[in-house]
């Protein structure tokens, strides 16, 4: 595939940045990730807007950089049309670092930002089976800190607070079950998982954690919109392990898989309700114009349910 780095369009293997880049040395960068459905980018503008807000918060020129990032993203879709068709669907990654490290005493703001936009295939095999089996969650002993220099709503590249729970989930995964790890707030409530937003259904209402405590997920916003269209009330309040254990349904939502059911927390079986989940999933398929569950199973080489087609119209 063709990638974009600082104004140049290059083969992916030739797209490189300096080892002196602040994004590598300090994690001094922000990023955003979206995906296509049927080759069409899903909610590109909301992803760009989230990236702009992240850049502004990190004291990068979000307003000035966004037009070139938007243009580069559109160009990559055009230049990689055949590769996208072969992959089925792709992620689009947009990354901005502060640029090269400055000498001691130099102004860090005087550096020229590094801008990267690239595409990569959606890894369908990593999540396809979980549409049917559901995923298990694990609790992280590492609480997130929301009083530090980085607001959780910013998609910053320094993701160690998410990587450590991810590694724990990998260690705890058993017999092919999911390994998403929930991240706790300092007060013991749950903010999100290491790579997905979380929601529960309780007494017919969709409940999500407060927006100031978690990444402002584009998929989470989509789920809330669809819930409203389906007449499912949405509450925004702290969610605890007690709430998850007693919820009628629990699911996670992210760019890659859209929505997955949750069936366990730290080995405790949860209610495996699927009523709201099924309604939201179908509404999502209608929205994007493709049966992404059948697509994932087909691309992963897994058998589909009887009568399930690869795609459906919106």
Q: What is the CATH number of domain 2-122?
A: 3.30.470.10
Boundaries of every domain in the chain: 2-122, 130-300
Residue 215, pLDDT score: 77
Q: Which of 48, 31, 57, 56 is nearest to 115 (CA)?
A: 31
Mean pLDDT of the chain: 86
H helical segments located in the chain: 22-25, 44-57, 62-79, 81-87, 130-133, 160-172, 218-229, 241-246, 275-288, 292-300
**Per-residue confidence at 254, pLDDT binned at 50, 70, 90?**
very high
Looking at per-residue confidence, does 111 or 5 come out higher? 5
pLDDT in tens, 107-162: 666 689 999 999 999 999 999 999 999 998 887 665 555 445 556 667 677 665 56
Average pLDDT over residues 195-202: 94
- Residue 47 CA to residue 84 CA, distance in Å, equals 19
> To the nearest 10°, the Cα dihedral for 39, 93, 122, 142?
-150
pLDDT in tens, 203-216: 999 999 998 877 78
2-122 with 130-300: one CATH topology?
Answer: no
For residue 224, give the 3-state DSSP assignment: helix
Average pLDDT over residues 46-70: 96
Q: What is the CATH number of domain 130-300?
A: 3.20.10.10
């Amino acid at each position: 595939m063709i990638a974009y780095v600082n104004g140049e369009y290059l083969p992916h293997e030739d797209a490189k940045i300096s080892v002196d880049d602040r994004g590598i040395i300090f994690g001094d960068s922000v990023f955003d990730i979206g995906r296509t459905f049927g080759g069409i980018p899903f909610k590109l503008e909301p992803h760009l807007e989230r990236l702009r807000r992240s850049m502004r918060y990190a004291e990068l020129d979000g307003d000035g950089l966004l037009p070139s990032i938007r243009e580069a993203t559109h160009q990559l879709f055009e230049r990689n049309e055949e590769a996208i068709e072969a992959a089925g669907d792709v992620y689009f990654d947009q990354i901005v670092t502060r640029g090269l490290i400055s000498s001691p005493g130099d102004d860090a703001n005087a550096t020229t930002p590094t801008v990267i936009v690239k595409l990569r295939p959606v890894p369908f095999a990593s999540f396809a089976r979980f549409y049917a089996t559901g995923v298990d969650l694990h609790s992280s002993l590492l609480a997130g800190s929301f009083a530090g220099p980085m607001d959780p709503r910013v998609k910053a590249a320094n993701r160690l607070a998410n990587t450590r729970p991810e590694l724990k989930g990998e260690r705890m995964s058993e017999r092919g079950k999911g390994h998403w790890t929930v991240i706790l707030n300092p007060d013991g409530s749950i903010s999100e998982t290491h790579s997905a937003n979380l929601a529960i259904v309780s007494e017919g209402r969709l409940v999500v954690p407060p927006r100031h405590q978690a990444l402002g997920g584009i998929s989470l916003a989509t789920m809330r919109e669809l819930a409203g269209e389906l007449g499912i009330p949405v509450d925004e309040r702290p969610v605890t392990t007690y709430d998850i254990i007693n919820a009628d349904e629990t699911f996670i939502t992210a760019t890659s898989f859209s929505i997955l059911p949750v069936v366990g927390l730290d080995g405790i079986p949860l209610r495996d309700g699927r009523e709201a989940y099924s309604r939201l999933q179908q509404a999502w398929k209608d929205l994007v114009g493709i049966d992404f569950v059948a697509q994932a199973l087909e691309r992963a080489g897994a058998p589909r349910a009887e009568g399930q087609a690869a795609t459906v119209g919106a």
